[in-house]
Structure formats: C-alpha cells, structure tokens
C-alpha cells in the first residue's frame, strides 16, 4: 500500500457524525503561534456575517493532531464540526508534541505551560481578530489535560469569555497513572503490556512528589520519561485553585464511565472548589467514557479502536452553553 492508498483508507474510516452539517460552514488552514513550535490549525467558520461566538479546542495529554485522531475516530473534529454546524466558529490545532516531537524531546525546558499556553493564547487572538467572530465571546474548550490546563490559559488570556472543561483531571497526573494501571489490571490486563509495571509507576510518582526532585533528576526515574522540569511545572499547578480566581462562566462535563478521569476523584475536585458558584455548571454524562463516546458497561481501551462519535448530547450541551453564556 503506498501513501496515497493509506490516505484514502484513513479518510474512509471517518465519517461525519449525524449532528454535523458541512454545508453551513467552511474550513481553512492557519498557523497557530510563532517560532520553532508554531503548529498547523484548522478554522471551522459558520457561513454568514455573524458575529459568531467562537471556541478554541485544547487537546488532551499526548501527541494529538488537530482532529484528535484516536484509531478510526476524530474526537476534536467531531466537536468542531458539531459546533460549527450550530453557528460557533472553532479553531483546533496540532499539538507541538505531535508536530515537533523531536524538538520537544530535545528541549528539557518544554513544560505543560509551553505545551498549552502560548498556542492557545495565539488561537484566542486569531479567533478574536476574525471579522465574523464576536471578539467578546471567544471561549476555551479543553479535553482531559486540555481541560486541566484551560484555567491556566484563561488566566493568561483575559479576553477569554468562559471555559468548558471536558473530563479535566484534578488529581496529580503522576498518581492518575497509578490509578489507571490498577483499573486496567482488573478490566483489561492485556493492555498493560505497553505500560510500565505498577511498582515502577509508584516509584516514579513518589519521585515527582519528593523534595529531592530537581531539574537534574534523571528522566528514567520519572513517569513517561518526561524531564524533571515538566513534572516540577505539573506539581506547582493547581487547576481548581486557578479556576477559582477566574471571574468567567464555566461548564464542566464528566463521563460517568470514564476510568482515566473519574467522577469520584477528579470531578470531586472541581465540585469542592467551584460548586458554590452560580456561574459554574457541572454535569455528569452517565453513558460516556473518557472520549465522550456513549455506551454501556465498563469502558475498555479497545473501545477506542471502534469507529464511533462524540456523544451528540454532549456536543449539543456545549453548543447551547456557548450560545447562552
């Protein structure tokens, strides 16, 4: 199979969800950010003069492309097309960890801040500068680690009108890894072959918490082989505390079937810090897993390899909230 055949196969594996209507919006490519870590982005713009509300999509942890490709699925393309079909402009973009993997791995100073804040702020500015977008109604919609970092982005970009957090983790990521390993040992032990042993993950998590952690700590003693500066930055960032300082509305959605970010631990953090605020809406999605794919029974890693789409009700909830916020 040559590259053109591979491209055709990939395109054929994804079909637009029923809630998307590509006849009512257009798309074009843009460059997000500047310098060596600038990335490609895709603008989805509703037809008509507007002014339209707009959203920047922040991907989860790992080297995601702009579409959020997971097996045959494209979770962020689902969301972008669903929102654009409802009159909301959307900008999604490749992560630097996807577009510039070698540069990132060769830059020990590349922390979660560099991973998320500069490109997201640049994306907010791009949307705010479009003639058909209402610059006073540009929002940030973050998924997983992108949801965790959404408050940090909003703090750095005062023009952000509000944030949507989809399965945003509040537990320390290095301990979430340990939790996931324990869950998979029960529900899908075969998935553990590509992951570190539990004992190693615990030792690495303990090192992240240790007062001995410093920029000189070897990467082989840390989760995922990420450099110490990455974990020092993670350790210093409290998403709930930062969110509490923001005077903007927030929508927080959490899948009840999600084993990577959970109702019992992660959503509990958002509730503890924000539930008393009238401008914060928190909803549990009973049928949904971590990628907001609806289903029944325990969520399993193999589910992500089956073609499906982000829950239509979730896309509708986000769109309705953005339109009314």
Residue closest to 17 by CA, chosen among 311, 255, 323 = 311
230 class by beta-carbon count within 10 Å (0-12 exposed, 13-18 middle, 19+ buried): buried
Per the listing, tokens 């097309």 go with: 81
Separation between Cα atoms, residue 311 and residue 291, nearest integer Å: 9
Q: What size, in residues, is the chain? A: 325
Contact between 170 and 242 (Cβ < 8 Å) = no
Separation between Cα atoms, residue 63 and residue 82, nearest integer Å: 23
Output phi, psi for 264, to 5 deg: -65, -35
Tokens of 315: 């896309």
Active site residues: 144, 258, 290
Tokens of 298: 């325990």
């Amino acid at each position: 199979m040559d590259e053109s055949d591979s491209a055709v196969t990939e395109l054929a594996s994804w079909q637009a969800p029923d809630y998307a209507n590509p006849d009512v919006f257009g798309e074009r490519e843009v460059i997000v950010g500047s310098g060596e870590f600038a990335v490609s982005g895709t603008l989805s713009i509703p037809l008509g003069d507007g002014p339209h509300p707009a959203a920047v999509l922040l991907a989860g942890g790992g080297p995601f492309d702009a579409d959020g490709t997971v097996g045959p699925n494209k979770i962020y393309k689902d969301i972008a097309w669903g929102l654009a079909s409802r009159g909301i402009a959307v900008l999604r973009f490749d992560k630097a960890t996807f577009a510039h993997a070698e540069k990132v791995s060769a830059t020990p100073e590349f922390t979660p801040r560099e991973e998320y804040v500069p490109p997201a702020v640049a994306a907010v500015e791009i949307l705010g500068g479009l003639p058909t977008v209402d610059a006073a109604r540009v929002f940030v919609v973050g998924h997983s680690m992108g949801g965790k970092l959404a408050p940090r982005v909003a703090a750095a970009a005062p023009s952000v009108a509000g944030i949507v957090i989809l399965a945003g983790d509040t537990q320390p990521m290095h301990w979430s890894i340990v939790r996931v390993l324990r869950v998979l040992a029960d529900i899908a032990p075969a998935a553990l072959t590509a992951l570190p042993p539990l004992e190693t993950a615990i030792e690495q998590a303990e090192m992240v918490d240790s007062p001995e952690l410093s920029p000189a700590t070897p990467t082989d003693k840390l989760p995922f082989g990420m450099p110490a500066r990455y974990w020092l930055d993670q350790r210093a960032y409290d998403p709930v505390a930062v969110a509490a300082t923001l005077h903007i509305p927030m929508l927080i959605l959490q899948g009840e079937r999600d084993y990577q970010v959970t109702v019992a631990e992660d959503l509990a953090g958002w509730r503890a810090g924000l539930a008393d605020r009238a401008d914060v809406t928190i909803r549990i999605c009973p049928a949904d897993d971590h990628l907001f794919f609806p289903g029944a029974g325990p969520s399993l890693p193999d589910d992500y390899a089956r073609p499906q789409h982000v829950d239509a009700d979730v896309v509708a909830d986000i769109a309705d909230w953005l339109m009314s916020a």
